[in-house]
Amino acid sequence: MSSEPAPSQPEGIEVAAVEAWYRANLAGSAPPLRFERLAGGHSNLTYRVTDNAGAVTVLRRPPIGELLPSAHDMFREYRIISALADTPVPVAPSLGFCDDLSVTGGRFYVMGFVEGRVLHDPDDVEAFLPVAARRRAGESLVEVAAALHAVDVDAVGLGDLGKREDYVGRQLARWYRQYQSSRGATPLVDSVHDALVERLPAQQRAAVVHGDYRMGNTMTRPDGQVAAVLDWEISTLGDPLADLGYLLAMWPEEGETFRTTATSPSALPGFPTRAEMLAHYGRHSDLDLSAIGVYVAFSFWKVACINQGVWDRYDAGMKSAHGVDVASIRASVDQLAELAAAALDAG
């Protein structure tokens, strides 16, 4: 993660109380503590914390303000990384969880600091990851995905993390409802939805599904190896191929100009193609990948629904559009729907 200077009183951190919690709960901790805000991690507040002896940990807490009960669930994240600690999935060490709101106004957890860098965008890649290591970065990303999807959820204590059945079917219903509540229909979104419902394959098994699995949610080492998977807040049980389809949809290739997300860095020279990523996943998984086009299409379609809702809120004046290219958001809905239709045709 990149960092930005923290204020003298970091947002969401009661320094004295957090230092007292560190003393009481983290063996060997040596306050006073210095907090450095880390960029990324959605709207959650994430700090690199350095104690007086130079030991570094990471503290993660929800944003300030009133939250929905299920939003920004810090214990969910802490529980998942704790459960995965002894599996082949690389995660940061879980060190402690605090559910006492009197400490700093929100539940938080502390994890070990992992060396590496979050490769959010092309500038991060150009500055950190040599061209020779980029193929390995893509391969490691799919190897870790395959390892995650092979985890026995009952054996690691995550068997009750969520509903096991019909993950994509439930997601289709949820996002279509949200799409239909937005103004400015795109007919292709409706026809792709109907095709997805008709062609959705049976879920092969219930696995831990990250829900936002892409390069920007991992720490990568300079050799391209994934050092840790981050941002588990929307993870649940479900269809593992939904993660793979999303990763491929978030993976533009060299020469492609459209980005599913504005910061996708994989179009730079050196990264493997989507076909190579898929083949590499297949070498590390026993799942049948013959219907992967449906999952890629679903991912494009879902982002189209999300972007339609974002555009609607801007266009209706519910959010300030200052400095925002609202027209490009609206145009992306059509582009994503076309990509979804193409993925279905190809798959």
Q: Would the pLDDT of 44 be above 90?
A: no
pLDDT digits (tens, 9 = 90+) for 70-126: 556 899 999 999 999 999 999 999 999 999 999 999 999 999 999 999 999 999 999
**Residue in 74, 81, 18, 78 with CA at minimum distance from that of residue 51:** 18
Euclidean distance between CA atoms 87 and 80, whole angstroms: 11
Residue 5 has pLDDT above 70, yes or no: no
Backbone φ, ψ for residue 27 (5° rounding): -60, 135
Residue 183's pLDDT is what?
A: 86
Q: Which pLDDT does position 244 carry in this prediction? A: 98
pLDDT at 345: 94
Q: Is the pLDDT of residue 25 over 90?
A: yes
* Per-residue pLDDT at 347: 74
DSSP 251-278: -PPTT----SSTT--TTSTTPPPHHHHH
Banded pLDDT at 8 (limits 50, 70, 90): low
| Alpha-helix runs per DSSP H in the chain | 15-25, 74-83, 101-104, 122-128, 131-150, 167-180, 187-199, 240-249, 274-283, 292-315, 326-346
pLDDT digits (tens, 9 = 90+) for 194-253: 999 999 999 999 999 999 999 999 999 999 999 999 999 999 999 999 999 999 999 999
- Indicate the average pLDDT of the chain: 93
* pTM reported for the whole predicted model: 0.93
Q: In the chain, what are the domains?
A: 3-112 (3.30.200.20), 122-346 (3.90.1200.10)
Instruction: Report the pLDDT value the prediction gives residue 259, as an integer from 0 to 100.
Output: 76
Distance (Å, whole) CA 200 – CA 298: 9
The confidence score (pLDDT) of residue 68 equals 47
Q: Which residues pair with 218 in a beta bridge?
A: 229
Q: What DSSP designation does 117 have?
A: B
Q: Element (H or E) spanning 39, and its range?
A: none
pLDDT digits (tens, 9 = 90+) for 257-292: 887 876 789 999 999 999 999 999 999 999 999 999
The yes-or-no verdict on residue 67 having pLDDT over 80 is no
Question: Considering the chain, what percentage of its residues have pLDDT values greater than 70?
Answer: 94
